[in-house]
Structure 1
């Protein structure tokens, strides 16, 4: 079978496509024939040895896949050969067949394409874990999303709206905010043009926001914490701004507020059943039209270097997916 292999840590240009032996499922595992393998920014890092996960060489990029079950290992129940499934792998998805733990499989509705099913685990999985499991968002609450125009932020807008929240999208330019408006954001804030704390307070009639979903960190974190409502929740999702902020803890005390870490990858490992339940909800919402994941482009496996290059050059405004059918 064919597989994209990173054989040296020299970045996306070092990835090659070669023939490798076909895998076999062990106990509790299945072999999935991969139809689509989505790429993320971390694929540009992992191929350079700069990601927190450092697999042994050679390995395949792509941490999320969709396809069909081809064979079952010993003791596997609840899934059948031919079932359409998706899975979050961490890495290793860009190959024609992969071995996956049966408990990690997510059933894919008939109306959802393989490309879309492969493209939701990381961004939408993080969003629903952050907003539902960690942020405890309730219908009618106000959620401010920092870095709302990026992939993680866009998914958070859609998930928060599906959960019945009012969404304030914050980003660094008016052009980026138009993307957020199209996704359903109720209010828009250019945090490089206004006082973020005062604007968030004004948009909530002085009450403050119930939840901040922070994808950027840096200089935006503290004013967002200052704009929290009583018993608000500040969700630490990422640090796209580059700097990890240091927060005055008295702000949390005075607001009875929580600062909460959102580490989706570790949560998937520790609670696969919870992740599976979340992703069943996500794919159901996709099938119902409540979520609309954006696929920017698809590439055949032979062009995976070009596909990762689009992300590496920061040219991706939607998901980049490798197809293997």
Structure 2
């Protein structure tokens, strides 16, 4: 099979397309013919050897995919050959075939294509679990979303608006802000054109209920200052590649909560509820991921570069079927 291979840690351009043996599903695993795979920022960090978990080279990058079951390993139940599925993992998705634990797969709803199914996973799950179980957003809440043009940010815009929040989208270009507006943002801010602290003071003079931050860097502190007393600041990643330093006096004075998001922190009951809600939103077409770029497998390095440089609008997808 053809696959993208990271032979040595480095920039996206170190990834090359090569021929590898087809993976054999082991006990509890399923083999999937990949139709499409989505690019996430941690893929870039993993290839660079700068992620919080290190993967020895050589390896096949890619953490999110959708496709069709082509093989069932021993002692594996719940799926049959021909089932359409989507899944996530640490690596392996940028290939024509992948073998993964069956427990990590979900069925793709009827009528949903592989590109959409692949792009809907990580970003929308992160955003929805954050909004429902960490922020606990209520209709009418003012929610500030940083990095609102990226994968997680744009998903947060969509889902917060769907939940009835008033969404203030912050991004770095008119293209990204146009996408945020199309996906439900009520107010948009280009932080390159005006100091974010001043823009947020005008947008939410009484203070925001929550900030969703997948970016970090210099935007975090002015966004934290925009919170009302008792508001929530949730950090879900550092796409800027800069971990911010937050003055704790702001947390004390404003009485706000600063919290990091991890899937493992969500209670089992709420996790299942959130997942059911997401599946229904996808199956009924109420929420669709915004796909801002599609590349063939041969151009996977270019897809990774678009995400690495912060130029992606919504999700970038590698169409392996091409």
Asked if structure 2 preserves the Cα contact closer than 8 Å seen for 1:85 and 1:108, the reply is yes
Q: Which moved more, 1:273-282 or 1:149-158?
A: 273-282
Number of the residue aligned with 2:84: 84
TM-superposition CA deviations, 1:34-55 (whole Å, max 9, x none):
1111223333333332333321
SS at 1:93's partner residue? coil
Number of the residue aligned with 1:234: 233
Does residue 257 in structure 1 map to residue 253 in structure 2?
Answer: no
Asked if structure 1 preserves the Cα contact closer than 8 Å seen for 2:69 and 2:82, the reply is yes
RMSD: 2.9
State the alpha-carbon separation in 1 of the partners of residues 160 and 98 from structure 2.
33
Q: Using the TM superposition, give the Cα deviation of residue 59 of structure 1 relative to its aligned residue in structure 2, in angstroms.
A: 0.8
SS at 2:168's partner residue? strand
For 1:17-28, what aligned pairs fall within 5 Å after superposition?
17-28=17-28
SS at 2:109's partner residue? coil
Asked if structure 1 preserves the Cα contact closer than 8 Å seen for 2:149 and 2:312, the reply is no
Residues 1:314 and 1:175: Cα distance change in structure 2 (over 3 Å):
closer
Q: Using the TM superposition, give the Cα deviation of residue 78 of structure 1 relative to its aligned residue in structure 2, in angstroms.
A: 2.9
State the alpha-carbon separation in 1 of the partners of residues 113 and 222 from structure 2.
41
Asked if structure 1 preserves the Cα contact closer than 8 Å seen for 2:176 and 2:313, the reply is no
TM-superposition CA deviations, 1:52-106 (whole Å, max 9, x none):
3321222112110101222223333333332211111121111222121121111
Does residue 29 in structure 1 map to residue 29 in structure 2?
Answer: yes
TM-superposition CA deviations, 1:12-55 (whole Å, max 9, x none):
33333333223222222212221111223333333332333321
Asked if structure 2 preserves the Cα contact closer than 8 Å seen for 1:213 and 1:237, the reply is yes
Q: Using the TM superposition, give the Cα deviation of residue 312 of structure 1 relative to its aligned residue in structure 2, in angstroms.
A: 4.5
Residues 1:17 and 1:31: Cα distance change in structure 2 (over 3 Å):
same
SS at 2:4's partner residue? strand
Which structure 2 segments of 5+ residues have no match?
A: none
Number of the residue aligned with 1:108: 108
Q: Using the TM superposition, give the Cα deviation of residue 294 of structure 1 relative to its aligned residue in structure 2, in angstroms.
A: 2.3
Q: Using the TM superposition, give the Cα deviation of residue 314 of structure 1 relative to its aligned residue in structure 2, in angstroms.
A: 4.8
Q: After the TM superposition, which segments of 4 or more aligned residues of structure 1 sit over 6 Å from their partners?
A: 270-276
State the alpha-carbon separation in 2 of the partners of residues 230 and 46 from structure 1.
38
Q: Using the TM superposition, give the Cα deviation of residue 211 of structure 1 relative to its aligned residue in structure 2, in angstroms.
A: 0.7
State the alpha-carbon separation in 1 of the partners of residues 174 and 319 from structure 2.
34
Give the TM-score normalised by the residue count of structure 2: 0.86
Of the three residues 289, 294, 312, the one matched with 1:316 is 312
Asked if structure 2 preserves the Cα contact closer than 8 Å seen for 1:104 and 1:272, the reply is no
For 1:144-293, what aligned pairs fall within 5 Å after superposition?
144-174=144-174, 176-194=176-194, 196-197=196-197, 199-204=199-204, 206-263=205-262, 267=264, 278-293=274-289
Number of the residue aligned with 1:131: 131
Aligned length: 321
Give the TM-score normalised by the residue count of structure 1: 0.86
Residues 1:29 and 1:272: Cα distance change in structure 2 (over 3 Å):
farther
State the alpha-carbon separation in 2 of the partners of residues 147 and 28 from structure 1.
38
Number of the residue aligned with 1:72: 72
Residues 1:298 and 1:202: Cα distance change in structure 2 (over 3 Å):
closer
State the alpha-carbon separation in 1 of the partners of residues 307 and 276 from structure 2.
27
